[in-house]
């Protein structure tokens, strides 16, 4: 079973709620970036914006499998 498919709205707790209340996608991502270290100490996000292009970088402080990386990214997209 796909782990992301089993997630229910609200699984992201306060971070999800804060992102949903943000007026723009950038504000939602900025909010999640601030909240992520509270739940996932080994993951940091950095949003790089230049002109009309944006890139979201995920950095892991510990070695993680590709499945874990995919899940974290999927959860981020799900929460936004």
Intervals of the chain under pLDDT 70: 1-15, 17, 39-40, 78-80
pLDDT of residue 1: 42
Give the model's pLDDT for residue 61.
82
**Average pLDDT of the chain?**
75
pLDDT tens digits for range 46-69: 888 899 888 888 888 888 888 877
- CB-based contact 33:54 (threshold 8 Å): no
Phi–psi pair at 55, nearest 5 degrees: -135, 135
């Amino acid at each position: 079973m796909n782990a992301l498919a089993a997630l229910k709205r609200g699984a992201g707790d306060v971070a999800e709620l804060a992102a949903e209340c943000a007026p723009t996608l950038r504000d939602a991502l900025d909010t999640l970036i601030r909240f992520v270290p509270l739940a996932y100490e080994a993951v940091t996000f950095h949003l790089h914006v230049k002109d009309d292009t944006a890139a979201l970088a995920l950095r892991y402080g510990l070695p993680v499998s590709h499945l874990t990386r995919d899940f974290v990214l999927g959860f981020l997209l799900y929460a936004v």
